[in-house]
Amino acid sequence: MALMPKRVKYRKVQRGSLAGNAGNCNKLDFGEFGLQVLDRGWMTARQIEACRVTMTRHTKRRAKVWIRVFPDKPISKKPLEVRMGKGKPGPDHWVACVRPGRILFEMSGVTRNTAKEAMALAANKLGMRTRFLAKEDQI
């Protein structure tokens, strides 16, 4: 089951702006290690799930993983071979808007090396530049 909101106030939303840097969720709050995004863009629910599966598999489910992003923006898409016009189509998939500095995932309960490898595998599932963070480095 893909990540998506249980209910929303509005079924369709406009594209919006991704200007600026992440104002919140840019520090490690839960785990010892984190994956921080350096680009701006949309992260789909499928990408988030693929990252989660990759990290839990690599750590053999020993690590506690926090997902710090949630796809709450519906993206509309017209079906193939449909003529222009006739209004905005219905929601096709869900995305999370991410800005530079946003922490995507946090992890604890494993060694630094294992966490770094797991986060690198997860970062390969994304089309964005990321970096590995550790709480011990921030102090």
What are the tens digits of pLDDT across the range 11-45? 999 999 999 999 999 999 999 999 999 999 999 99
Query: Residue 120 has what pLDDT?
Result: 97
Query: Residue 1 has what pLDDT?
Result: 66
User: For the chain, how big is the Rg over CA atoms in Å?
Assistant: 17
Query: In the chain, what are the domains?
Result: 39-76+91-130 (3.90.1170.10)
pLDDT digits (tens, 9 = 90+) for 79-106: 999 999 999 999 999 999 999 999 999 9
Around 87, how many Cα atoms within 13 Å sit in the side-chain half-sphere? Answer: 4
Query: Residue 136 has what pLDDT?
Result: 85
Query: Residue 2 has what pLDDT?
Result: 82
Would you say 76 and 92 are in contact if contact means Cβ atoms under 8 Å apart? yes
